[in-house]
Structure 1
């Protein structure tokens, strides 16, 4: 989002900000879930997840009576100050976006950016979730990846459609199966208080379809609100024409959720020659190791020569080195952690200066000259998804 776009810059905003920031953004008044409780089991449910029949009959999914609905604030609060009397109530940020908005003018002026441009960041966010479930899908502390793209008010719909397609393509580019991805367009009654239009990217997890990223047309709500509450001018002045408050197209992805979807999408159990093979079919750019260097055996100098090769490759790639157990078991070990390539240094390597490289996905093995290994790896990573998907 930053490195490959000349008009998007990276940023790192504060976790704790003045509480007025969250009043301006609408979080203090609107960032709530409505909670109900099963009066028998004491299990809690979000009211909006209940079916129309359950709401009408006031019954939980367990068939028991429900308590009265109560508002559940999703922001964590803490105190800022040395004494209880002088302390001020502040909040842990529930999203990273607001830190970008209040710094919009600083970043725009110091970076000399012209519309349209974006500000992106990765950072911690905190939400007082009602329910924790599905491993790391929903937690109270998580990482967000957000980008706020500032545009002319007359071009907001065009840029909204642009970023929708670009963000969907991102997941395909990192190897996620297209059949497991879809858009969910927000109906008017689903839109957040700040949104003009919105859609989510959904992924089909083992526990069902769920959101992994939101793309929102936030109109000029945010900068207008922060300008009003802070009494600072957050308008944009083009070289020609009148000042205006930019509209914002937001892409908001969960880094934590993205890790989970990558693992779910890559996990396979295959049958190879009558035995099960567990493989993590990660895109090479995401794999913990790009290549594993495996001497055929420990003896006769093979391990020492292979280690020298490992140390030279390590300067360019993330590499693993494994000399324990049989070569077959070491292959399977690397398959399980998602290493896309395994290099075997054998007895022939001592005389022909070549090695065998095995591909994780196809099990294809090729003899490659040692001086061509770097080029082989580079070509494999660049073409992955074209020839290897």
Structure 2
């Protein structure tokens, strides 16, 4: 209806129903030091502006009511950042009592700074035991959990992170779509995280002649065993780089005359446009390490100047 696909009549939804023993809602062994020291923008229910706060402070001041809720807030925000959303464009907002669902102990939204203002990207609610009680009531099924330690039946609480797939993709595009001016033209670059890019590696022969195409196809077929690969031999290599930049391909592998003689190739990084020279036999391991952020690009091979 408005703001492109931010709000649509049909959408896909992702949710986690995480069950917790009702007597252990304040006992979260997964909440470690890295979670507690995590700092983010926070808008509490009675505040007009958000401020930077650490999770430990939010728990100590009883702003976030339970450690389990804090754990899922941090995990959710870190997951969004890992996909490529910028941390500075995110904040968490506490639901006020007037907007809180009747069954919810507390609800926090992860909001993003859209061109039309801060709006919800993901919601994380402590739905207590409401869901399972309602299911039991109307289905006639016993949905209690038997606690072997206390020898009693309990109805678990539920923490529910919930996010729309379409809105997430739109948000990713806001933070990854860039336009870079080079001389008299503007080039579009989609700086998608390599793990979610539709194409992870493009293999390009410098030219179609002298066996470079055959070598490039051989390399592409080998990389397809582990990655999503595009083979492209149409037009100049510069135009092929630009095409792959536009669709978010993080790395381009170029096969040239030296490749035929030395069995090596050039790997180009989309974001920095830097290039390194590597052995073809090492390509699968190098690409894997680069996609998983386990290697700096400059360390992948010999830098081409």
What's 1:219 paired with? 128
Q: When the two structures are aligned, how many residues end up with a matched partner?
A: 257
1:335-350 matched pairs, under 5 angstroms: 335-350=245-260
Q: How many Å separate the matches in 2 of 1:334 and 1:386?
A: 21
Q: Does 1:186 align with 2:95?
A: yes
What's 2:112 paired with? 203
Q: Normalised by the size of structure 2, how large is the TM-score?
A: 0.80
TM-superposed CA distance for 1:350, in Å, is 1.1
CA RMSD of aligned residues (A): 1.7
Match of 1:352 among 259, 262, 265: 262
TM-superposed CA distance for 1:275, in Å, is 3.2
What's 1:315 paired with? 225
**Cα 1:252–1:295, aligned 2, differ >3 Å: closer, same or farther?**
same
Cα pair 1:206 1:264 within 8 Å, conserved: no
What's 2:147 paired with? 238
C-alpha offsets along residues 207-263 of structure 1, whole Å, 9 cap, x if unaligned? 332211110001111112222233332221111222121111111111111111112
Match of 2:160 among 225, 244, 250: 250
Cα pair 2:195 2:292 within 8 Å, conserved: no
Secondary structure at the residue paired with 1:328? helix
Secondary structure at the residue paired with 2:187? strand
Q: How many Å separate the matches in 2 of 1:155 and 1:280?
A: 44
**Cα 1:385–1:141, aligned 2, differ >3 Å: closer, same or farther?**
farther
1:137-148 matched pairs, under 5 angstroms: 137-148=6-17
Q: How many Å separate the matches in 2 of 1:385 and 1:217?
A: 38
Consecutive unaligned residues in structure 1, runs of 5 or more: 1-131
TM-superposed CA distance for 1:159, in Å, is 1.1
Q: Does 1:172 align with 2:81?
A: yes
C-alpha offsets along residues 314-341 of structure 1, whole Å, 9 cap, x if unaligned? 1111001111111111100000000000
C-alpha offsets along residues 129-174 of structure 1, whole Å, 9 cap, x if unaligned? xxx2222222222111111111122333221111111111101111
What's 2:56 paired with? none
**Cα 1:379–1:182, aligned 2, differ >3 Å: closer, same or farther?**
same
Q: How many Å separate the matches in 2 of 1:148 and 1:385?
A: 35
Cα pair 1:341 1:358 within 8 Å, conserved: yes
Match of 1:159 among 68, 72, 93: 68
Secondary structure at the residue paired with 1:383? coil
Q: How many Å separate the matches in 2 of 1:367 and 1:307?
A: 19
1:31-110 matched pairs, under 5 angstroms: none
Cα pair 2:85 2:172 within 8 Å, conserved: yes
TM-superposed CA distance for 1:384, in Å, is 6.7
Q: How many Å separate the matches in 2 of 1:369 and 1:274?
A: 36
Q: Normalised by the size of structure 1, how large is the TM-score?
A: 0.63
**Cα 1:218–1:212, aligned 2, differ >3 Å: closer, same or farther?**
same
Secondary structure at the residue paired with 1:189? coil
**Misfit runs of 4+, over 4 Å:** 384-388
Please tell me whether Structure 1 or Structure 2 has the larger radius of gyration of its CA atoms.
1
What's 1:375 paired with? 285
Structure having greater relative contact order (Cα 8 Å, sep ≥ 6): 2
Q: How many Å separate the matches in 2 of 1:230 and 1:379?
A: 49
Q: How many Å separate the matches in 2 of 1:230 and 1:312?
A: 53
Cα pair 1:293 1:310 within 8 Å, conserved: yes
Cα pair 1:220 1:245 within 8 Å, conserved: yes
Q: Does 1:280 align with 2:194?
A: no
Q: Does 1:297 align with 2:204?
A: no
Q: How many Å separate the matches in 1 of 2:214 and 2:70?
A: 55
